[in-house]
Structure 1
């Protein structure tokens, strides 16, 4: 065998070894790639978080749009401020979820053990009738009921004045006469207005482009009014040169920032609008 033939066989053997190594390593590379590929796409924010009773009982994971309970606790300062916008219903992905305890089929445990295991133990409100878990006990200790009941609003018998902390800064000042004031109410709008001096008069109507005089009102005085057609009112109080007299003019407006429905005169004559 000459040297040329030996070289050819040597290179052929080397080439075969390289190819064989590639063929052996190829399945291993393929298997590693398959092992690194996610086996499934798990939705971290399933729609069950936004359905009752979970919507009002379960804290959604970080990064998910907030549900009702998450927003409520964030508003009460028990969670960090929310930065994720609430999605439209059409944006909430579909998933398979459980049923409310009241609609569960017979034999289904309404108080499963998962409610008492991490992380649910610290994130989920247990249903009524179940032993409280850590999260439920925490809220109860803070006076928050697991199933809060909103009391029925009492019937409205008249126009309710705003609370003092809801009032705007002082608008003007009127000189009272022995603690009394007369109010000339002028309706310059073209709409009928219902007005009331809280505690002094019942609700009354004032036609558009008309006025009325309210006399000898003891301060503090709360005058409330609203347009019957639901429109907005701009209010302008104008103290008179006459002691104990103020004129309140009502005009139509389309600017919601100018809309007012209350004039309050304090014991010292300070006038607030709200």
Structure 2
């Protein structure tokens, strides 16, 4: 029985198995290299890519442009003035602008009016001449010192003015004549104080007499 060929076959088989065992560890490594993707490190951007395309510098992508700037295509809205929003509201009226009513003067005397007229007797107790006038009724007249005159049927209301010719002040005292209704007696005396001086007498329709 011959075994030489068998030995050669065994050696050849051993060589093939040995080479196969040696190449097996290299096969997974080759597959691993082929299956591993080409991953670039972060930050290593390709030089072929444009990091800022020109389309982002054109409207409406150019966000950096201010509203209303040329090329932005955006028109800013105009603010409405505050005074236009309040046109419908009426202006407030200040109480400080309201006219103040002065208290009415207290009458110096009161006379009973008969038929809407009054008789006035002027008595000059001074040594100076006095000029008097019934406004709208008589012209200026002169009353001598230490004398008197009576003005009859004067229709009320009336205003009588008087002054001393020498420029002095007059104390004026009106008083109704008790025995004769509708008659008023006015006495003039010299005043030593300027604050006592009076130059106008007013008689109202209700008989109130005021001095100023």
Q: TM-score, normalised by structure 1?
A: 0.39
Q: Which residue of 2 aligns with 1:198?
A: 135
Residue matched to 1:213: 150
Show CA shifts across 1:63-117 (max 9, x none). xxxxxxxxxxxxxxxxxxxxxxxxxxxxxxxxxxxxxxxxxxxxxxxxxxxxxxx
**2:190 aligned residue (237, 252, 259):** 252
Count of residues in Structure 1 that have an aligned counterpart in Structure 2: 110
* 1:17-68 Cα deviation digits (max 9, x unpaired): xxxxxxxxxxxxxxxxxxxxxxxxxxxxxxxxxxxxxxxxxxxxxxxxxxxx
Task: Tell me the residue number matched to 2:204.
Answer: 266
Q: Which structure is richer in relative contact order (CA contacts within 8 A, separation 6 or more)? A: 2
C-alpha displacement of 1:258: 1.1
CA–CA separation in structure 2 for the residues paired with 1:205 and 1:249: 15
Distance in 1 between residues matched to 2:104 and 2:147, nearest whole Å:
27
Q: Give the unaligned 5+ runs of structure 2.
A: 1-101
Aligned pairs (5 A) from 1:41-190: 168-190=105-127
Question: Larger % of strand: which?
Answer: 2
**Structure 1 residue runs of 4 or more that deviate by more than 3 Å after TM superposition:** 165-168
Tell me the alpha carbon deviations over residues 212-248 of structure 1, each in whole angstroms, 9 at most, x when there is no partner: 0000000001110000100000000011111110000
SS in 2 for 1:257: helix
CA RMSD of aligned residues (A): 1.6
Cross-structure match for 2:169: 232
- Relative distance call for 1:227 and 1:266 in structure 2 (3 A) is same
Larger radius of gyration: 2
> Residues 264, 188 of structure 1: CA spacing in aligned structure 2 closer, same or farther, 3 A cutoff?
same
Structure with a larger share of its residues in helix: 1
Q: Which runs of 5+ in 1 are unaligned?
A: 1-164
